[in-house]
Structure 1
Amino acid sequence: MSQYWVPRGGLPPQTELTTGQSGRAVFTEAYAVIPRGTLSDITASRLPHWDDTRLWVLARPLSGFAETFSQYVVEVGPGGGSERPEGDPDAESVLFVVDGSAELRLDGAGGAAHPLRPGSYAFVPPGTPWTLRNAGAATATFHWIRKAYEPVDGVEVPEPFVVHEDDVSIEPMPDTGGAWGTQRFVDPLDVRHDMHVNIVTFEPGGAIPFPETHVMEHGLYVLEGKAVYLLNQDWVEVQEGDFMWLRAFCPQACYAGGPGRFRYLLYKDVNRHPRLRT
C-alpha cells in the first residue's frame, strides 16, 4: 500500500525557529521549492461554490513563475464539495486523491458516480461538467492540476477517465534495472493530450544520472520519501510533502536517499507547438 504525505494545516509554535521546516523555501527565476512546512492555516485559501473546502495553491500562471498550469492541494471536509467546481470552460483537470474518500460524477450531477480513494486518478477534459462530494466521515484530500487545453484542428478532445494507480504498472526506464520507473496514466503517443501527470518512482539509491534539460515545464509534488534534487546549479534536499516548480530548460537530476522509495507526482506540458505569439 502506498502512503502519501498529506498537509494538516495548523501553525508552528512560537518557539519554532524561522529557519525550520519552512526555511527551506527557495524561489528563483529557474525553479522554486515550496516545503511542506509552508502549508499552514494562514496560507490556505477558499474557492467559490465549494462547501467546507480549503486549498493550498502550489503553482499558478504568473510572470516569472508557472506558465502553463496551476496546482492545488484541496482539503474537503465531511459533507463538503461542489456542484460547480470549475468556472473555466477551457480548463482540463487531473485529480489525484491522497487521503480520505470522495465521490466524483462526470457529466454533472446526473452522471455515473465514481468512488475515489487514495491513489485514485481522474482526468476531466475541458467543457465536461463534474461534481465532487465527500460523503465520508473523514477529510478528503486531493491534488488538482489544471491547464488551459490547447485544441488542434482535426484532433479530438480526449475523453474523461477514472483509474487507480494500483491498476497502472510502473514502467522501468531503460538500463536502470528497475531503480527508476514511471506510471503513465495516458499513452505518450496520444497527441489528443497536451499534458501528462505521471507518478515517478525511485528505489533507494536510484538516480537520474544526467541533468535533464528540456522544453517541458514541470511541477513535482513529493508523495513519499526523500532525495537530493539538482535544480539548475543547486543541489537541494527534498522530502515528502515538498513541491518543486521547474521552468522550461531548467537542468534537473536526483539521487533517492532512502530508506524507502522516493515518489513524486509529475506535471509536464507535451504534444503541442510552442506558442510564437502571446
Structure 2
Amino acid sequence: MPELPEIEHLRRTLAPHLVGAVVRTVTLHRRDILRHPHDVTTRSVGRRLLRDGRITTLARRGKQLAIITDDDRTVCIHLGMSGQLCYQSPGQRLPRTDHVHATWHLESPSGRALGRLAFRDPRRFGGLWAFDSRAELHALRWARLGPDGLDVPARDLQAALARTTRAVKAALLDQAVVAGVGNIYADEALFRARLNPTRSADAITAREATRLATAIRYILANAIEAGGSTLRDYVDANGDAGSFADRHLAYGRAGQPCRRCRETLTGIRIAQRATVFCTRCQP
C-alpha cells in the first residue's frame, strides 16, 4: 500500500500538471469507486468530481491526497493497495488501460487541451470521496487522523502511544496515532530508533519517543526524495517507480544479515502484518 512518501511524491509530481488546469469533463467508469454516492445522481456526478472547476491546490494528509478547485470543491483520493494516479499529456497513452475507474479531462483556462488524469486501481481497495469544501473534508475525514508523519512531535507521539497497550509496531500502523506510516516505514523507523517492535506502546519512554519521532521524520523525508518505495504497483504521476526500496534496512529482509551488526534479521507477525527487526540492534 502506498504510504506517506509515495503520496507526497505523487503530489509533487502531479502539481505541475494539475494546478491551474480546468477540469472540462469527468468520466466515472465505476460508480462504486465513489465511496459516498448516496447523494450523487448521474447528472451531478461530474460536478461533484470537480467538472468546470479550476484546480488550485493539491493537499495531502497521511496517505490521502486531495484535489481542490477555486470554488473549494474537493475530491479526496485514497490509493488503497494498488491504486495509481497517472497523468497523460495530449496524445499520450497510458501504459495500462485496464482497471481505470475515473478520468479527468483537463484544459487551460483558454480552452487548450492539457491532457488527462486517470485513477487506476486493479484491486479496488482505494476510492474517491467528494466534498463541497476543504473544511468538510477535514471535518468528515481528516479530523480522525493523527499528526502527519512528516512533522509528528515527540510529545504528541508519546501521548498517543501511552494510551494503548498494543505492540508499538501495531500502534504505529494506526492512522489515528500518526498519519502516513504503514508497514514499510514502521519497520524502518523502529530499526533506526533501535526499538523492538513487540514492546508495549505504553512502555515507550519520553526519550525513546523522541528517538522514534525523529526516526519517523527522517525516514519519511528520505523516502520522499527517493520517489518512495515501489514494491509492486506504485508509480508516480509520470509513471516512474520509486527507488527507496533499495535502501530498506529492515522491511522485507527477514533472514538476511543486519546491515548494522550482521545478525540475521528476524521475521514475525504483529497485527497480522509481516514485521522484520534485529534482535541485537532492537533488544
The answer to which structure has the higher strand fraction is: 1
> Do the two structures share a fold, i.e. TM-score over 0.5?
no
Higher helix share: 2
Normalised TM-score (structure 2): 0.26
